[in-house]
């Protein structure tokens, strides 16, 4: 009965531990926000930086498994190359050891002020502060900090429960006989690997090994293979995440396993040889919690130091096991595995949205050039680009809707809102590029010639349209609200230019200088110009409004137009003078 009760307490402690880890890592990931993705992109510059960033990000999100899954998603999306992930994986292996050192706090002993370092004494304080922040604070960052604190407290209580369960079994003969199996290193490695693969948390397995040390029945000789097994078993999560991805993405999980297996083999063989040659007496000692953490750290640091110079060989070995296929298509546009780390997913979606913006600008610029020189290849490219813009909207829209259901930081939430509000406008810009293409083709096929005055007006409006496009896309690409503020005054100037062109066309028509046929084409042209500038205005307003945490387009436009904004008036006068309507 004692064994059953202790097992239930161990399972309960493990549940608390895993839940606490989940809550804490989620809060840490949200607080880190976009800095994770920006840092990860720098990892391609040099190996040491990549390794350092891998360690730093893993410490931030408290999960090497999540880090590897993230890398699988990035490679599958084509956002990183397989070769670039090896340094990050090695750094992640080092970063994950920090958790085991945090867990050593459960073994702090001593009287007086040292008692406050014991989790059972300080965790309630941490939990209370965290709960207050979650319930009382209106700021998301403080609420996230509160979740981290509550998650940490739950994690430490789980560790304490597991330690208490092990402590109660130290004199139980049945439990002692079960531990005899761990005297066989291969059995210990296999059991630890299997257990870690099932629960998908090496930190939890390390925590249980640390809890076992309180019994006094676990030695360094037992702990080392258990720690090695935990390191191998943690690859299971990445291995499962690689199902259904490209071969390049599969290589990420495979190289992760290779690194761990080589390290474990070298580590075990090295210890057997050293023990045989020098009779390592410390292997019979109880490691205690710090000793287990030390073994975990030494293994990962030594393994990284051993394999760091042989990255090319690791790539070749991985390529041998996972051969590339020329027939294989590209990976996911934005792999949904990235959603498991929302801050990364948000920033990668923004990268794709900026690509969409630049494609929309390029497509429109090419279509405007067709009025001066019609080119069939350019026309075909416009149709292809318009299809790509449709695909962007479809894929980004689906990805962002799924992402918006996740717990996001304030910044990430605003970014998602901005993208959801703008991808439709960017897609519509592509539609108008096709409309302009049709008008240009009609002019060519029917040999329509505008009057000199009409041509001058069109050139002037085209210059204004190119400027508002460039200004809008540049503001969006650089997330620059100050540039976006200049878009609306220019949009108003373009509206005036269009209205004036319509009036002058009627005058020319009455004087017989223009024909009804040219009027139809000009009307289509002006309608598209007006719609394009409207979409630019929508994008700029979305950028401005989401940047301040609100979104009311009509209220914003009404305020700047009727409120007598000095900046708006000055910008309008400047653009009006530039395009000849002052």
pLDDT at 361 over 90: yes
Structural element, H or E, at residue 127: helix 119-136
Residue 494: per-residue pLDDT? 94
Confidence of residue 564 (pLDDT cuts 50, 70, 90): low
- Ranking 33-42, 60-69, 387-396, 404-413 by mean pLDDT, the lowest is 33-42
pLDDT band at 295 (very low <50, low <70, confident <90, very high): very high
pLDDT of residue 405: 86
Give Cα separations from 111 to 108, 115, 117, 495 (angstroms).
Answer: 10, 6, 10, 78
Q: C-alpha angle 359/364/368, rounded to 5°?
A: 150
Q: Which of 63-72, 175-184, 381-390 has the lowest mean pLDDT?
A: 175-184
pLDDT digits (tens, 9 = 90+) for 322-341: 886 655 544 567 878 788 77
Percent of the chain that is helix, strand, coil (3-state, to 5): 85, 0, 15
The residue whose two tokens read 């004036």 is: 500
pLDDT score, position 244: 74
Name which of 80, 72, 78, 70 is nearest 395 in CA terms. Answer: 78
HEC letters along 235-246: HHHHHHHCCCCC
- Give start and end residues of each alpha helix (H) in 370-515: 376-404, 410-445, 452-477, 481-484, 487-510
End-to-end CA distance of the chain: 93
pLDDT band at 261 (very low <50, low <70, confident <90, very high): very high
Range 341-578 classified under CATH 1.20.58.220: yes
Q: At 527, is the pLDDT very low, low, confident or very high (cuts 50, 70, 90)?
A: very high
Q: How far apart are CA 418 and CA 427, in angstroms?
A: 15
In degrees and rounded to multiples of 5, residue 182 shows phi and psi of -75, -5
pLDDT band, very low/low/confident/very high, at 493 (cuts 50, 70, 90): very high
CA torsion through residues 529, 530, 536, 540, sign: positive
% of the chain residues with pLDDT over 90: 35
Binned at pLDDT 50, 70 and 90, residue 561 comes out as: low
**Could you tell me which residue, 439 or 74, shows the higher pLDDT?**
439
- Largest Cα–Cα distance in the chain? 111
Place of tokens 């210990």: 188
Q: Which two tokens stand for residue 368?
A: 């405007």
pLDDT digits (tens, 9 = 90+) for 186-245: 888 998 898 888 877 888 888 888 888 877 878 898 889 999 999 998 888 778 777 777
Contact 264, 253 (CB under 8 A): no
Residue 478 binned pLDDT confidence (cut-offs 50, 70, 90):
very high
- What's the token pair of residue 534? 């409207």
Domains of the chain: which residue ranges? 2-321, 341-578
pLDDT of residue 554: 58
Of residues 182 and 541, the one with the higher pLDDT is: 541
The model's confidence at residue 26, banded by pLDDT at 50, 70 and 90, is confident
């Amino acid at each position: 009965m004692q064994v059953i009760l202790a097992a239930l307490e161990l399972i309960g402690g493990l549940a608390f531990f895993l839940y606490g880890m989940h809550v804490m890592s989620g809060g840490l990931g949200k607080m880190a926000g976009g800095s994770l993705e920006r840092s990860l992109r720098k990892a391609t510059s040099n190996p040491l930086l990549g390794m350092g960033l891998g360690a730093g990000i893993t410490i931030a999100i408290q999960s090497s498994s999540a880090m590897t899954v993230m890398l699988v998603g990035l490679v599958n999306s084509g956002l990183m190359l397989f070769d670039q992930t090896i340094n990050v994986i090695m750094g992640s292996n080092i970063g994950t050891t920090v958790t085991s050192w945090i867990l050593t706090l459960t073994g702090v002993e001593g009287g007086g002020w040292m008692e406050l370092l014991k989790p059972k004494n300080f965790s309630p304080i941490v939990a209370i502060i965290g709960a207050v922040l979650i319930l009382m604070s209106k700021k998301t960052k403080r609420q996230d900090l509160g979740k981290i604190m509550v998650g940490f407290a739950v994690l430490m209580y789980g560790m304490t429960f597991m330690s208490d369960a092990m402590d109660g079994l130290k004199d139980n003969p049945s439990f002692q006989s079960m531990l005899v199996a761990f005297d066989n290193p291969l059995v210990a490695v296999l059991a630890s690997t299997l257990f870690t693969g099932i629960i998908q948390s090496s930190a939890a397995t390390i925590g249980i090994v640390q809890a076992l040390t309180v019994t006094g029945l676990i030695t360094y000789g037992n702990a080392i293979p258990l720690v090695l097994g935990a390191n191998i078993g943690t690859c299971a999560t990445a291995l499962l995440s690689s199902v259904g991805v490209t071969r390049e993405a599969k290589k990420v999980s495979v190289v992760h396993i290779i690194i761990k297996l080589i390290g474990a083999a070298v580590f075990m063989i090295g210890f057997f040889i050293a023990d045989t040659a020098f009779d390592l007496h410390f292997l019979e000692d109880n490691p205690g919690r710090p000793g287990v953490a030390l073994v975990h750290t030494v293994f990962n640091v030594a393994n990284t130091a051993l394999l760091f110079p042989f990255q090319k060989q690791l790539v070749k070995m991985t390529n041998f096991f996972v051969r590339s296929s020329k027939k294989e298509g590209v990976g996911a546009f934005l792999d949904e595995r990235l959603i498991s780390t929302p801050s990364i997913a948000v920033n990668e979606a923004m990268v794709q949205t900026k690509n969409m913006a630049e494609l929309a600008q390029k497509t429109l610029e090419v279509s405007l050039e067709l009025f001066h020189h019609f080119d069939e290849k350019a026309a075909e490219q416009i149709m292809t680009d318009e299809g790509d813009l449709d695909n962007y909207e479809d894929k980004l829209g689906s990805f962002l809707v799924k992402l918006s259901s996740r717990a996001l930081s304030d910044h990430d939430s605003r970014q998602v809102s901005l993208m959801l509000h703008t991808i439709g406008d960017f897609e519509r810009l592509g539609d108008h590029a096709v409309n302009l293409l049709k008008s240009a083709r009609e002019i060519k096929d029917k040999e329509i010639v505008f009057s000199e005055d009409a041509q001058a007006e069109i050139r002037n409006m085209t210059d204004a349209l190119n400027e508002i496009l460039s200004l809008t896309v540049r503001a969006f690409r650089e997330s620059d609200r100050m540039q976006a503020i200049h878009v609306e005054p220019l949009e108003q100037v373009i509206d005036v230019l269009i209205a004036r062109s319509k009036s002058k066309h009627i005058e020319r028509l009455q004087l017989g200088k223009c024909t009804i046929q040219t009027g139809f084409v000009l009307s289509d042209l002006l309608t598209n110009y007006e719609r394009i500038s409207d979409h630019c205005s929508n994008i700029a307003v979305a950028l401005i409004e989401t940047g301040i945490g609100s979104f009311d387009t009509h209220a914003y436009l009404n305020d700047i137009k009727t409120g007598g904004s000095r900046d708006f008036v000055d910008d309008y006068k400047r653009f009006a003078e530039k395009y000849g309507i002052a």
